[in-house]
Amino acid sequence: MFDEVAPRYDVMNDLLSLGQTRRWRKIVLDAVDAGPGQRVLDLAAGTGTSSEPYADAGVDVVACDFSLGMLRVGKRRRPDIDFIAGDATNLPFADGSFDAVTISFGLRNVTDPRKALAEMLRVTKPGGRLVIAEFSSPVNPLWRTMYVEYLMRALPEIARRASSNPDAYVYLAESIRAWPDQDNLAAWLSEAGWTDVTYRNLSGGIVAVHRAYKPDAAAEAPSGAAAQVRRARRSASR
C-alpha cells in the first residue's frame, strides 16, 4: 500500500493536513534537538522528508522504513541521506547506536507498537531521547466530533479525487480513529522502559508530540556507585 502511494505521498500529506505537516515537522525537529556529531534514527521515515532537516544541519541521520517504494523515492531525491530498509519491531542496528530516535506518524502502522517502543529503547544510547509525533485525540469534545467527521467522511473523499490509491487513505482514517489517546501512549512508553515521559498537544490535540529518555547508565545499574551513594545517605540519616 505504501509502495503504491510513495510518488505522491508528500503532496497528499500537505493537502490532507491543510499544510500543517510542515509546522509539525519543525516542532519535532526542535524536540529532538540534535546537533552535528550526533546520530539520529528517523524511523518510518518514508521518502525522507522528515530526515532532510537533520542532514542539512550536519546531523548523521539514518532514514529507516519498511516500504522499499518509499525508500526508492527518497533516495532519488536525496542520495546523500542513508536510507535503510528495516522493521520497527526488529531493527537492524546494534544496541546503543543512536543519540536520538524519532518516529512521525508511523507508530500506529506497526504491527506491534509496544515491541517497537522496546526496540527503539534498545538502539538508543543511555541518556538518549525518543520523540514521537502521532495523531491523537482532540481535547475539546466538539472539536473531536468535527475531527472524526472529517476523518471518516471528508478525508476519504478528497483522497478519491487526488490519490492513485484512495483505499490507503480510508485505512489512514480508520487507523487514526482506533489509535490510543495521549495518556495511553505515554503509559506505553513508561511500560517499555522510557523515563521522563511528557507530551505536547498540537492543533488542539489532533497531533501529540511525546518525548522520553532512556535511563542513563547509573539509573540502569543501581548496584554500582549510585547505589553506594544512596546507602551512605540512608546510613547518615539514621
* Per-residue pLDDT tens digits for 102-149: 999 999 989 999 999 999 999 999 999 999 999 888 887 766 666 666
Contacts of residue 172, defined as CB under 8 A and 6 or more positions apart, other chains included, come to 155, 159
- Distance CA(118)–CA(90), nearest Å, equals 10
Q: Flag whether 110 is in a domain.
A: yes
pLDDT tier at 203, thresholds 50, 70, 90:
confident
**186 has pLDDT over 80:** yes
Q: Flag whether 148 is in a domain.
A: no
Dihedral angle sign, alpha carbons of residues 20, 23, 26, 27: negative
Instruction: Count CB-CB contacts under 10 A for residue 187.
Output: 12
Q: Flag whether 46 is in a domain.
A: yes
Q: Flag whether 233 is in a domain.
A: yes
Half-sphere exposure of 22 toward its Cβ, with a 13 Å CA cutoff? 6
- The answer to whether residues 195 and 218 touch, using CB atoms and an 8 Å cutoff, is no
Contacts of residue 64, defined as CB under 8 A and 6 or more positions apart, other chains included, come to 41, 42, 43, 44, 45, 83, 84, 85, 86, 91
Predicted pLDDT of residue 232? 28
Predicted pLDDT of residue 231? 30
Beta pairing, strands 124-135 & 207-213 = antiparallel
For the chain, the C-alpha Rg in angstroms (whole number) is 19
Q: Flag whether 160 is in a domain.
A: no
Cell 528517523 found at: 42
**163 has pLDDT over 90:** no
Q: Flag whether 150 is in a domain.
A: no
Q: Flag whether 149 is in a domain.
A: no
- The answer to whether residues 208 and 199 touch, using CB atoms and an 8 Å cutoff, is yes
Mean model confidence pLDDT for the chain: 81
Per-residue model confidence as pLDDT tens digits over 39-97: 999 999 999 999 999 999 999 999 999 989 889 999 999 999 999 999 999 999 999 99
Kindly list the distances between the CA atom of residue 225 and the CA atoms of 49, 99, 126, 195, 238, in Å, as whole numbers in the listed order: 44, 24, 16, 21, 20
- Distance CA(233)–CA(170), nearest Å, equals 58
Domain count along the chain: 1
- Distance CA(212)–CA(219), nearest Å, equals 15
Instruction: Residue 84: give the domain boundaries.
Output: 2-139+178-237
**CATH assignment at residue 27:** 3.40.50.150
Predicted pLDDT of residue 24? 86
Predicted pLDDT of residue 235? 28
Q: Flag whether 159 is in a domain.
A: no
Query: Which helix (H) or strand (E) is 180 found in, with range?
Result: none
Q: Residue 3: what residue type?
A: D
Rounded average pLDDT over 150-173: 58
**6 has pLDDT over 60:** no
pLDDT tier at 22, thresholds 50, 70, 90:
confident
Predicted pLDDT of residue 236? 30
